[in-house]
Amino acid sequence: MRAVAFTLLVFGLLWDSVRAENTISSLREAAVAWEGELPCGKWDCDCAFNHQRGCCCATTELQQAEDQIYTRMMDLSVSMSQLGDSLLELLGGMRVAFTASMSSRINCLGPFTRNMPIPYDVITLNHGNAYNPVLGLFTAPCAGLYSFSFSVYSKLSLTGGRMYYKVQLMRNGEVVTSIWEDNREDSEDSSSQTVLLSLQQGGQVYVELLSGRQLCGNIEGLNTFSGSLIHPTLTSH
């Protein structure tokens, strides 16, 4: 993005320079081609465009036109430079990233009678404060492309018990992807998922445990949820 911004800025300055030079060239050609009568007898265009006043009746007007074009070109150059700096500051200064895990104090989560957001309450990173540990909810501070990852770990306390869980990543209330296990062969299991999601400003992402399922034997740092902004995107109005 920085390279694109600087490239646009350079092209803008070059285009303004070309337009200004074309305007001055057109004025010079028009002066030379003039066939009407002049009080001073001739157009002295070399004089007019070398900033020497008084040598020709058109010098003052042409000098004023050149000065106006130059001033306008400089104003545009400054404005584009300021715009480029603001854009780079915005893109470079926007940091959105979080990592959270489920506390080891929770030995078993579930089962519940309805789907329940998982409370990842141990926060190790929360740049931009977009993650709410109370709700287990991430809210996008700006439109953009985001990366999200979540890992699931569960361990049965009794041999021969049923490993039965399903965890799913939600975007604005809709399922994006899920991790599940349902068997009596494993006493310990773990898995993870990573996805890229486009979000509008205010979009929400969270991880939930399905009703009737449970996660047990939680060890701190193994049930995690994390995300980060890859790059912001422009929104159309």
Query: pLDDT tens digits, residue range 109-119?
Result: 889 999 999 98
Q: Quick one: 121 and 180 in the same domain? A: yes
Q: How confident is the model at residue 45 (pLDDT cuts 50, 70, 90)?
A: low
Q: Quick one: 63 and 77 in the same domain? A: yes
Out of 93, 125, 142, a domain closes at: 93
Q: Which structural domain, as residue segments, surrounds residue 186?
A: 97-232
Q: Quick one: 29 and 118 in the same domain? A: no
Please state the rounded mean pLDDT for residues 138-152: 96
Q: How confident is the model at residue 58 (pLDDT cuts 50, 70, 90)?
A: low
Q: How confident is the model at residue 23 (pLDDT cuts 50, 70, 90)?
A: low
Q: Quick one: 81 and 124 in the same domain? A: no
Please state the rounded mean pLDDT for residues 172-198: 90
Out of 93, 118, 139, a domain closes at: 93
CATH, residue 141: 2.60.120.40
Q: Which 3-state string (H, E, C) describes the chain?
A: CHHHHHHHHHHHHHHHHHHHHHHHHHHHHHHHHCCCCCCCCCCCHHHHCCCCCCCCCCHHHHHHHHHHHHHHHHHHHHHHHHHHHHHHHHHHHCCCEEEEECCCCCCEECCCCCCEECCCCEEEEEECCCEECCCCEEECCCCEEEEEEEEEEEECCCCCCCEEEEEEEEECCEEEEEEEEEECCCCEEEEEEEEEEEECCCCEEEEEECCCCCEECCCCCCCEEEEEEEEECCCCC
Check pLDDT > 50 for residue 204.
Answer: yes
Out of 93, 113, 140, a domain closes at: 93
Assigned domain for 212 exists: yes
Assigned domain for 237 exists: no
Q: Quick one: 188 and 224 in the same domain? A: yes
Please state the rounded mean pLDDT for residues 168-192: 90
Record the pTM. 0.61
Q: How confident is the model at residue 70 (pLDDT cuts 50, 70, 90)?
A: confident
**Number of structural domains found in the chain:** 2
Looking at per-residue pLDDT, the higher value among 92 and 194 belongs to 194
Q: State the average pLDDT for the chain.
A: 78
